[in-house]
Amino acid sequence: MNIEFVRKQFPALEQDFIYMDNAGGSQTLKKVADNISTYLLQHNVQLGASYKVSQTAGEKVDAATQKVSEYLNTNRKEEVVIGPSSSILLRILSICISKQWQEGDEVIVTNTDHEANVSPWTALQEKGFKIKTWKANPETLELELGDLKNLLSDKTRLVAVTHASNILGSINPIKEIADEVHKAGALICVDGVAYAPHRNIDVQKLNVDFYVFSWYKTYGPHLGIMYGRYNLLYKMEGINHYFFGKKDVPYKFQPGNVNFELTYSLLGVTEYFEELFQKEFPKENNIRFQEKLTRVFKSIAHHEEEISQPLLDFLQQNSKVKIIGREPANKEKRVPTISFVHKDLKSNEIVEKVDKHGIGIRFGDFYAKKLIEDAGLQEKNGVVRISLVHYNTKEEVQKLISVLREVI
């Protein structure tokens, strides 16, 4: 992968600092920041007016939404719901969709998810809905499909599951899970926050009903996005003003409207991947955007596997270290979010020593509290998490390894 081109697109990487807490928030593309500035300085008016500046501003926001629709391969741009964060969008979804359910209906959550895709559903117990938990195998910490099948019933209305764990890095087989959920007559809601920075998302191939992720962890602004099947969104009652009805999709789920400048800035992300494709495959341009993304993210996955394997190898060789998650850097099975604990040291002690070397890693539960509790890792103050993305380099990983060699 053309790592020199990649790094030039992220001004923050010019600083004398190594960013390895990317699962908490990636660095932002210059194109994104430029688009925010351009919109605020040239198009900052309310949409929907008859005057020209307003019409132009509306076209800018609409163009960004259309491109995001292509990015996700939705059937129509109305299936794109934009909000301040993934947490809020999932909460809105739980409020709106549960109005269609009956007391005693069931929702299945996991003990490996970020709480954003758990709390909105467990809160429904107060309304008389039953919540079941799909628990990971306590030895491997992996979700097993057979356990889900045992939980599904004719009362299951929705299964909430993560695409990739923000602690384990494990990639769950969403298409296979979705097929089982649909066989049971239920819907699936996927949290893709920890997956989206590393792999392309094709909601039609995945066969999901709802899919949510955060742009601020995917090289963009602090904004969340939710895909929802149009027929499902249409049937739901929204949370916007009373005079918006079924046909007002997605606006009925976006009270106060979208953030205009941040929505427009998303074009900076899509244009970046277009340009990266041209750098990687200069002779192949007459293909759909989704196919370009597929090719680009294959290059990204290969690069991420290459830079994470030496780190995993190093950790495996230390008898006092336990990796929490899959050990091989297999790009088909995991993303480069790597967590571990130490036999003698607490996780915060390790991170605080690494801090002094100008490398940003992190410790804690990362809002996946149930996973940390069930794995018995609270006394370690959670895990040490090193989260890489494609702009990280082999040299940065080697620097981290040399520091860790002194620390652990």
Token representation of residue 338 = 């790597």
CA distance linking residue 334 with residue 166, whole number of Å: 11
What's the rounded Cα separation, in Å, for the pair 68 and 225? 9
Q: Which fold has domain 32-268?
A: Aspartate Aminotransferase; domain 2 (3.40.640)
* Cα–Cα distance, 21 to 167 (Å, whole number): 12
Per-residue pLDDT tens listing for the chain (408 residues): 899 999 999 999 999 999 999 999 999 999 999 999 999 999 999 999 999 999 999 999 999 999 999 999 999 999 999 999 999 999 999 999 999 999 999 999 999 999 999 999 999 999 999 999 999 999 999 999 999 999 999 999 999 999 999 999 999 999 999 999 999 999 999 999 999 999 999 999 999 999 999 999 999 999 999 999 999 999 999 999 999 999 999 999 999 999 999 999 999 999 999 999 999 999 887 899 999 999 999 999 999 999 999 999 999 999 999 999 988 999 999 999 999 999 999 999 999 999 999 999 999 999 999 999 999 999 999 999 999 999 999 999 999 999 999 999
Closest CA to 252 of 243, 263, 260, 264: 243
For the chain, the farthest-separated pair of C-alpha atoms sits apart, in whole angstroms, at 69
For the chain, the C-alpha Rg in angstroms (whole number) is 21
Q: Where are the beta strands (DSSP E) in 163-294?
A: 187-191, 210-214, 224-228
Bridge partners of residue 188, in order along the sequence: 159
* pTM confidence score: 0.97
Residue that the structure tokens 């060699």 belong to: 405
Q: Which of 32, 28, 40 is nearest to 260 (CA)?
A: 40
Domain ranges of the chain: 3-29+290-407, 32-268
What is the CATH topology of the domain spanning 3-29+290-407? Aspartate Aminotransferase, domain 1 (3.90.1150)
| Distance of alpha carbon 170 from alpha carbon 162, whole angstroms | 10
**CB 351 within 8 Å of CB 341:** no
Cis status of the peptide bond prior to 282, with omega within 30 of 0? no
